Amino acid sequence: MKILHVVGARPNFMKISPVMKALEGRGVHQELLHTGQHYDPSMSDVFFEDLGLPRPDLHLAVGSGSHAEQTARIMLGFEQVLRERRPDRVVVVGDVNSTLACALVAAKMHVPCAHIEAGLRSFDMRMPEEINRVLVDRLCDLLLTPSEDADENLLREGTPSERIRLVGNVLIDALAAHVDRARAREPWKAHGLQPGGYAVLTLHRPSNVDDPTVLSRLLGAIEEVQREIPVVFPAHPRTKKAIEALGRAPRGLLLLPPLRYLDFLGLTAEARLVLTDSGGLQEETTVLGVPCLTLRESTERPVTVTHGTNQLVGTDPQRIVAATRAVLEGRVKMPRTPRYWDGRAAERIADALG
């Protein structure tokens, strides 16, 4: 069997790494395609180094653009790749534009396609990622789900049960493999911080970053949070530009460029709390036992709320500050690890692909 893996954005890199290692141990022929959706070295190259991923066999170098432009460029390039490489199966990951573009081309060219992280739903179709999730799950013939609620979503939508395989959360495989090494780097020391003595912030969702009113409200909340605890903010390039355009950043905020995977994981693992609009961080903090405040009104990962450390606090400054103070006062949730978040999801994925 010849498998072609597709990655495009840094969450994809973390999830595909354990899968490729599991398949390599079984002697499966694999190729890795990077669409170039994330092309900044700090968002791409260093992740390959930290995760031990092989350099991509193919690179589409699509770069940035509107959703339509980016998706169209990926489709054009990927169509040619499929004609030339003729894989037996395509594997796509997550919910980014690369995921949708390549799943759509594979479906039209009748190449079987598997979706890792299938079945997640926020039920908010204003999110570009939600549109991608729904469409990719209709296109792919093998849906590899991270949690039982994802199976339920797919069955409710009429998906045949034989297309669904509950495999667990492969992001946790990457975390388990690298967290000790990440902590050993002690990345907090570079910023004069102590373990448990700081918060980590990430923002990248268009609904939070592209709307100046919302972004200003969030930055106002962070100003209040910083009076209670130092905040480390590794900023996505888009987010940094939006803050600069707004002309304000909370005083004393540790605004950093994007960090290497190991440095960011090390910071997260020893944080007092995390404030984020990321999906993956909701999952990682649940396993790490770090309180997580999600700056959104909905999540496609509800198991992190029902089982984990996650709370949905939206973008209202009062809710954010009140939830932060509750965490700092010791009023935190005790997490339970969801089923199959055990560091062995990649082996189950390899079984399903085999």
Residues designated as active site: 204
The set of long-range contacts for 235-242, using a CB threshold of 8 Å and a minimum separation of 24, is: 235/203, 236/43, 236/202, 236/203, 236/204, 236/209, 237/40, 237/43, 238/204, 238/209, 239/203, 239/204, 239/209, 242/209, 242/210, 242/212, 242/215
Q: Which two tokens stand for residue 347?
A: 């082996």
φ, ψ of residue 105 in degrees (nearest 5):
-65, -45
Q: Residue 32: which of 41, 43, 52 has the closest Cα?
A: 52
- All residues at 6 or more sequence positions from 27 whose CB lies less than 8 Å from its CB, including other chains: none
Of how many residues is the chain composed?
A: 354
**Residue 176 Cα to chain centre, angstroms:** 16
**Residue 57 Cα to chain centre, angstroms:** 23
Q: Among positive and negative, which fits the CA dihedral 150, 153, 155, 160?
A: negative
Helices (H) and strands (E) in the chain, counts: 15, 13
Please list the residues that pair with 273 across neighbouring strands.
199
- All residues at 6 or more sequence positions from 259 whose CB lies less than 8 Å from its CB, including other chains: 42, 187, 234, 267
